[in-house]
A and B are shown apart, each in its own frame.
Chain A
Amino acid sequence: MIELVIAERCVRCDACVDICPTNVFDAVPDAPPRIARQEDCETCFMCELYCPTDALFVGPDCEHAEPTDEAKILASGWLGQFRRDSGWGEWAGDPRYRNEHWRMDGVFLRAREMNERR
């Protein structure tokens, strides 16, 4: 579930307010958005993908909110991980984060062959 809006990184673009499929955030004038309806979060990580400054953190648990220490998350290297791995924003064109989704068919085939051999 959505756990943190990190004020020092937020540029108040309100992209998360606009794009959240379940309307979790409320825009606040001259301030970072507020997590207004955490219980509605569907843990889809889309807000992290659309946040241009990696100011959002979605926890891994889809059932329960978890106390989350902002300092630890800032140090974790997890902020922006999904946006970077997706090759969005400044990561576009970086060969390390190329979209190789097309390999999925081949992966399924490999698995089938391995399972048939078992």
Chain B
Amino acid sequence: MTGRSTYSEAALSADVLVIGGGLAGTWAAVAAAREGAQVVLTEKGYCGTSGVTATAGPGHWWVPPDPQLRAEAIRRRQLTSFGLADSHWMARILDTTWRTLPTIANYYDFSVDDSGAIHYRSLRGPEYMRAMRRLTEDAGVRILDQSPALELLLHNDGSVAGARGLRRQEQQEWTVRAGAVVLATGGCAFMSKLLGSQTNTGDGQLMAAEAGAELSGMEFSTYHTVAPVFSNMTRSMSYAFATYLDAAGRELAIPQGPDSTRALARELLKGPVFCHLGRMPDDIRAVLTRISPNFMLPFVRRRIDPFSQPFEVTLRGEGTVRGTGGLRVIADDCRTTVPGLFAAGDTATRERVAGATSGGGAQNSAWALSSGLWAGRGAARLARERGQGSERPVGAIGGAGLRPRQPAAAGPSAAEAIAAMQGEMLPFDKAIFRSGGKLKHSLSVLDDLWRDLRASLGGRGLALAKARETAALVASARWCTAAAYIRKESRGMHQREDAPQLDERFARRLLIGGTDWIWTRFDEPVPELERAAS
């Protein structure tokens, strides 16, 4: 690493290292600690405010343990998964979420509704993540905030030995040697200004891919959420009452529900689109800030009354956040194909519970909680068998953004590389209305970009962390684009204008991996039973 000699190092050792302190990471750390493991959690920002849960209001997928209700909920989700989900995993997250959420009642002040019933499923983000931080601390986990992970450490046999990163406020490196590592760094929204996602740059996916891990479902990355054009306030509830208008003030026919994105995007490609929330009933307006205290902030501070004054809107891409792609997990404990490496939350693929259609906030939160618990527990058990391994030799395996091959070569700056990546990933005509020709072109631009940044991008201190983030963003962009190009059909959120039909030959998950050279492979068909259900 450049600048090694000028920074002091914090060298720690643990049974389990959790990278990422959002919803999945905190649950993973708590679960590992409860198994008796010594746990370190590192977070790029601050565990409690970072990520897409803290700024939102997760309403978990929540079905009482009545066999018929559960079976019906799973059957309904199977219909929209287009054959790629797995009822076993859906049943598991329903069960784990139902059992677990009430256990944080000492940390989160659950609401009592008008009938006197306690509401567990729907929590406010800042309070939920504040509670999760306290729970994590009380479990004895050592938290390193403002400490982005930069790369994994591997033993000679290819198993994971820990990770290395930067304590960015102290200009100090950290190294954590661990018996097992859980990646919970979130999805990747390509810095689209989706609320809370600026830190979700695909860091874990890149680190894992460098170790040889596989990803799955990266083509399911087209979900978008509406927001005022000047704002990142992608809180969707109030837009259920939206009326959309063109620049001349004529009402646009935008359907509600999952079809609204494509209709809105089509209009946005023609010209500016405006919106007002005048259909929201008065009694809901009166409690809006008690439901979502952040929703009105941008309007109030722009002196806009969103209920009577039309405001211009746009769509913010969610990438793999409310997409379903991520690291492939191969067992109930969310282990990846790399020994010692586990994945949880949006870092992992959510195809097993959502398939080709976004599970939305409800399934994603239930998945983050459940996969976090399973990964943390699995990592603790593995670490108990393996030991911390801190005496064995290790190698640091990070490439792009950390160790440029030709540091003197002229290449893109981090800002230029991000702008070039966004030019392929954010425009609606490319991101939403996909076609083979457009995808192929984007892929060639992104491959060139990767080659150039691989040669020259690096830095020191904060610039090094930025360079590494940039590499991770471009890596996720390439996997999403390549997977979308290979899946020559339309399935769920992945819609191709040149292949608008479902094609049964593709009724299987698409695996992808590699960094300098990207490979793809269709997985074995998911069990016939699962497909028959859809």
Distance between Cα atoms of A63 and B196 in the complex (Å)? 14
Are A19 and B49 in contact, with the CB atoms below 8 A?
yes
Most buried by B among A18, A44, A104: A44
Instruction: Determine if B534 is an interface residue (Cβ-Cβ < 8 Å).
Output: no
Are B193 and A63 in contact, with the CB atoms below 8 A?
yes
Are B231 and A62 in contact, with the CB atoms below 8 A?
yes
Q: Which residue of chain B lies nearest to A100 when distances are taken between CB atoms in the complex?
A: B290
Q: Which residue of chain B lies nearest to A98 when distances are taken between CB atoms in the complex?
A: B290
- Interface with A: B53-61, B150-158, B493-501, which one? B53-61
Secondary structure at the B interface, as helix, strand, loop or mixed, is loop
Q: Which residue of chain A lies nearest to B290 when distances are taken between CB atoms in the complex?
A: A100
Contacts A82-B293, A102-B122 given; does A21 touch B45 at CB 8 Å = yes
Digitize A29-69: 1 where CB-to-B-CB distance is under 8 Å, 0 elsewhere. 00000000000101111100110000000111111000000
Q: Determine the interface band of chain A, counting residues with CB < 8 A from chain B.
A: 35 or more
Contact partners of B232 in chain A: CB under 8 A? 42-44, 62
Smallest Cβ distance from B236 to chain A, in angstroms? 9
Distance between Cα atoms of A103 and B198 in the complex (Å)? 28
Contact partners of A60 in chain B: CB under 8 A? 230-231, 297-299, 301-302
Distance between Cα atoms of A111 and B243 in the complex (Å)? 12
Q: Which of B49, B55, B281, B291 contacts A103 (CB 8 A)?
A: B291
Are B50 and A108 in contact, with the CB atoms below 8 A?
no
Digitize B117-138: 1 where CB-to-A-CB distance is under 8 Å, 0 elsewhere. 0010111101100000000000
Are B240 and A101 in contact, with the CB atoms below 8 A?
no
Most buried by B among A82, A98, A101: A101
Are B284 and A46 in contact, with the CB atoms below 8 A?
no
Instruction: Determine if B217 is an interface residue (Cβ-Cβ < 8 Å).
Output: no
Contacts A63-B230, A102-B111 given; does A21 touch B49 at CB 8 Å = yes
Q: Which of A17, A42, A46, A107 contacts B169 (CB 8 A)?
A: A17
Contact partners of B145 in chain A: CB under 8 A? 18
Contacts A101-B57, A112-B256 given; does A82 touch B46 at CB 8 Å = no
Smallest Cβ distance from B44 to chain A, in angstroms? 8
Distance between Cα atoms of A103 and B294 in the complex (Å)? 16
Q: Which of B48, B122, B146, B300 contacts A101 (CB 8 A)?
A: B122
Are A103 and B169 in contact, with the CB atoms below 8 A?
no
Are B297 and A45 in contact, with the CB atoms below 8 A?
yes
Question: Which residues between 61 and 118 of chain A lie within 8 Å of chain B, taking CB atoms?
Answer: 61-63, 78, 81-82, 85-86, 97-105, 107-108, 110-112, 114-115
Distance between Cα atoms of A12 and B293 in the complex (Å)? 26
Q: Which residue of chain A lies nearest to B191 when distances are taken between CB atoms in the complex?
A: A42
Contact partners of B294 in chain A: CB under 8 A? 45, 82
Are A105 and B195 in contact, with the CB atoms below 8 A?
no
Contact partners of A11 in chain B: CB under 8 A? none
Are B256 and A21 in contact, with the CB atoms below 8 A?
no
Are A82 and B284 in contact, with the CB atoms below 8 A?
no
Q: Which residue of chain A lies nearest to B110 when distances are taken between CB atoms in the complex?
A: A102
Smallest Cβ distance from B533 to chain A, in angstroms? 25
Q: Which residue of chain A lies nearest to B22 when distances are taken between CB atoms in the complex?
A: A21
Contact partners of A21 in chain B: CB under 8 A? 44-46, 49-51, 54, 196, 198-199
13 CB-based A-B contacts, threshold 8 Å: A18-B146, A21-B44, A22-B45, A22-B198, A44-B198, A78-B300, A82-B293, A86-B126, A102-B111, A104-B57, A107-B237, A107-B284, A114-B241
Measured CB to CB, the residues of B under 8 A from A are 44-46, 48-51, 54-55, 57, 59, 109, 111, 113, 119, 121-124, 126-127, 145-146, 168-169, 193, 195-199, 230-232, 237, 240-241, 256, 279, 281, 284, 287, 289-294, 297-302, 462
Beyond contacts A104-B237, A111-B241, A111-B256: 20 other A-B pairs, Cβ-Cβ < 8 A, are A17-B169, A18-B46, A18-B145, A20-B49, A21-B44, A21-B50, A22-B198, A42-B196, A43-B232, A44-B196, A59-B301, A82-B294, A86-B127, A99-B290, A100-B287, A101-B57, A101-B122, A103-B113, A104-B292, A112-B240
